[in-house]
Structure 1
C-alpha cells in the first residue's frame, strides 16, 4: 500500500512541476524524461559546456566595441572641427582688418610697432604671414587624416566629415589666394606711386641745384645803393616802399631779407603788412633798446637777432599757424625758435605790404605820414 501512495505523490509532484514549468517556460517548449540507473541518481543533470575565457568574443561585444570607438572618433572630429572653426574665425578677422585697411587708401603709416594679433603693415610681411597660415592649416588637415586612418583603420572615415573639411579648406584657400593677389596689386601700385614721387622729387632737387650753381657762379658782391629798387637812406616817417601785389590767405610763410643798419636805438620797421581791421597783421620791428620783434595779428614774439653793427646780415623768419611755431635764422644759423605766436590764426588776404614803415599809430609804431 505504501509504494502505491508514494508513486501517486511523486506523480502529483511531477505534474505540479510540469504545470509550473509550462507557466514559466516560453510557449512551445517541452520536457524530455530520461530514465537513469540507480547508481547515477546523485550525479545530477549534466550542464552545457561553458566557453573558455581566452576564446574570441561574441559578435555582439565586437559590435559594441566598434560603436564605442566610432563615437570617440566622432567626438574627436567635433573637437578638431571646433579648433578649425576658431582658426578660420581668427583668419577671417585678420582678413577683415586687412580689407578695412585696404579700404582706407594706400598703406598708412602709424606710430608704434606691430602689436600681437595685428597684421603687419608691410605688404610683403602680410603675404608671408598668410602663406604660412595656409600651410599650417594644410599640415593640420593632413595630420588629422593620418590620425583618423591610424585610429579607425578597419572602419571607413565618414564621407560627410571628409567632404566638409575639404570644402572648408578649399574655400579658405581660395580666399587666401584672392587676398594675396589683392595685396600684390596694392604693393605694385604703391611701388609705382613711390617711384613717381621719387622722380618728381629728384627733378625738383636737380632744378634747385642748378639754380644754386648759377647763383654761385655769378657775382656775389653787393650792388651799390644806387642800383637797388628801393633805397631808404634816412630814418624818416615818410619814406617807404609799397609792394604792388598783395598776399593770399596764408597758413605759413618764410621771410628772408638782407639788412644793414647802424642806427641806434633800433632799426625801425623793415616791413609791415596790414589788412582791414588789423594794421599789425605781420610786422617786423625794432624800436628803442628792445630786441627785434615779430608781430602776428598784434601778438608779439621777441627774436634773438642782432644786426645793428653796420654790416650786411641775411635773416630769415618762418612761422606756421599750427601751434604758432616760429624760427629765426641769421647768416644761415638758427638762433631761436618758439611757439604760441597767434596759433591757428590764418594770415588774411588782400592787405597792403609796406617796406620801411609801420602802418598804424601806437607805442611801438613809427607814423607812416
Structure 2
C-alpha cells in the first residue's frame, strides 16, 4: 500500500475509533483493512464483513418503509380531501336541529321518504281501509233513512275507493318488479293525496246528513306521515295571555308527535305543543321551551289545559282537571303574534308547511279551544269533567266549520267525557 492510501485509511480508522470510544469505551474493536487504491472506501466497507451487510440491509429496509409511508400519506390525503368535499355538500343541503329536534326548512314531501316507498304505500292502504269502514257506517245509516241522495253518494264513494285500491295494488306490484324513479314516486303520492282529500270531503258531506252537533267530533290521525293534517280557517289574534285546552288520545311511540302548531311570518314555532322522540312533552312560545309533566301515552283519553301570561312568562299545566306543573320565564313579555297559520297534527318548519313525518301526531284529538285569557282552576276542572258545556274558546272554537282536513285524516263523532270513559 503506498503512502497516500495508507494515510487516508489510518485517518478513517482513528476517527471511527475516537467517535465510538466516546460512547462505548473499551467495548468495541476496530479492524483496519487495506483496500485497492481506486476503490470507494464507503462501498468497500459496506461489502467487507457481516455487520456491514446487516447495516446495508437495514438501510434498504428503512428506505422501503419510507417510500411505503409516503404512498400511504398521499392516499390518506386524497381520502380526506374526498370526505371533506362530501361533508361540505351535505352541510350545504342540511339544517341544524332546533329545540325539541325540529328541523327548519325541511321539504314538504308526502310520507316519510326515509322509510321507503313500499311502506308509504302500505300506509296509504291502511288509510283506504279506514275510509271503507266509514263508508260502511254511512251505508248502514242510509239504509235506515231511505235517502236516494245518500245512496248515490255512497255508490260514488265506493267506486272511488275501489279505484284507489287498484292504484295502490298496481303501484306495489310495480315496485316489486323494479324500482321506479323518485320523480314518479312523488307524482304518484301527489295523486294519492289529492284523491284521499277528495274522498274525505265527500264522506264528510255525507256524514253531515246525520245532524251531528257542530262540535261533537274528533280528528283521527292513524299514521305517522307528513301529509295528514287539519288547518284552521282563521288566524289567531295578538295575545298577551292565553289558555289552550284539548282532549287527546294516543299510545304512539316514541312520542305522540305534534297535536298542534301555530306559525307566523318569520317564526315557525310561535306556539307549539309537541312530544318528539324520547323527550317529554314541550310547550313552545316564540321558540322558547317549557317541559310539561304530562303522562298521556297510554291509549286513553286525557284532557289537557295550558295557561300562559306574557308577564314574567308564567305558565301552568293541567291534566284531567288537576294542575301537574307550573313555571315562569317562558317567552316573557312576548305577545303571541297574529297573521299566522294554525295546523293540527303536524309541526311547521315554514309557514303552513315544511312537515316532518317523524314529528307528526298519531292518535285522536278533539275539542281544541283557545282563549285570549287565563282560565281559572275551577273553569279548567269543569271543562275536564264536562260540567261547563257552554265554555268554548273565544279566539278559536272547536267546530266543523272552523277547520279544513287534508291528506286522509278522518273525522268521527265524539262526546266529551262519555267517549273518554
Do both share a fold (TM > 0.5)? Answer: no
What TM-score results when the alignment is normalised by the length of structure 1?
0.37
Q: Which has the higher contact order (CA 8 A, sep 6+)?
A: 2
What TM-score results when the alignment is normalised by the length of structure 2?
0.32
Q: Which has the larger radius of gyration?
A: 1
